[in-house]
């Protein structure tokens, strides 16, 4: 599936309250609502959706542990396997708060099984089932 189609569907889904309630854990849901930044808390699920729908041959999922308490946990994003370009669909959750993301500290990780959150996000965004 084309990346621009996936991005448009996900960005629209991030704004919907029923998607937030279905996908986000309570702490992330509350932070999302309080901050008014719609991408807050969606980093793992959104990265997995893009990874699975746009081609695992194009991307690797990268995780970044919270080194200085800037993030309240782990942040996920994608790195292009060919160009090493970073793609972070949820970067605004930090940028809008003036927080620089230390991408250079990220570590690649594998995804064996489809997560329930990614499955739910993909379906609610109108993107359909995720391939393994």
Cβ proximity of 19 and 124 under 8 Å = yes
pLDDT at 99: 85
Counts of helices then strands in the chain (DSSP H, E)? 6, 4
Rounded Cα distance between 5 and 54, Å, is 10
Residue 122 φ/ψ region, left for φ over 0, alpha for ψ in the -120 to 50 degree band, beta for the rest? alpha
Asked whether the whole model's pTM tops 0.75, one would answer: yes
Pairing of strands 86-87, 107-109: unpaired
Cβ proximity of 78 and 72 under 8 Å = no
Q: What is the CA radius of gyration of the chain?
A: 14
- The predicted-structure confidence for 47-100, as pLDDT tens digits, reads as follows 999 999 998 999 999 999 876 666 667 899 999 999 999 999 999 998 998 888
Rounded Cα distance between 41 and 66, Å, is 14
- The predicted-structure confidence for 16-54, as pLDDT tens digits, reads as follows 999 999 999 999 999 999 999 999 999 999 999 999 999
pLDDT at 68: 63
- Residue 116: is its pLDDT beyond 90? yes
Rounded Cα distance between 110 and 61, Å, is 7
């Amino acid at each position: 599936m084309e990346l621009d189609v996936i991005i448009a569907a996900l960005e629209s889904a991030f704004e919907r309250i029923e998607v937030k309630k279905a996908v986000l854990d309570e702490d992330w849901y509350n932070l999302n609502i309080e901050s008014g930044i719609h991408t807050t808390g969606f980093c793992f699920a959104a990265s997995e959706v893009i990874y699975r729908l746009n081609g695992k041959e194009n991307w690797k999922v990268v995780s970044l542990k919270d080194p200085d308490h800037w993030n309240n946990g782990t942040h996920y994003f994608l790195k292009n396997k060919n160009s090493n370009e970073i793609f972070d669909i949820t970067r605004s959750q930090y940028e809008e708060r003036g927080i620089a993301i230390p991408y250079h500290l990220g570590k690649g990780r594998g995804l064996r099984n489809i997560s329930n959150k990614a499955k739910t996000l993909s379906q609610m965004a109108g993107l359909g089932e995720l391939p393994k």
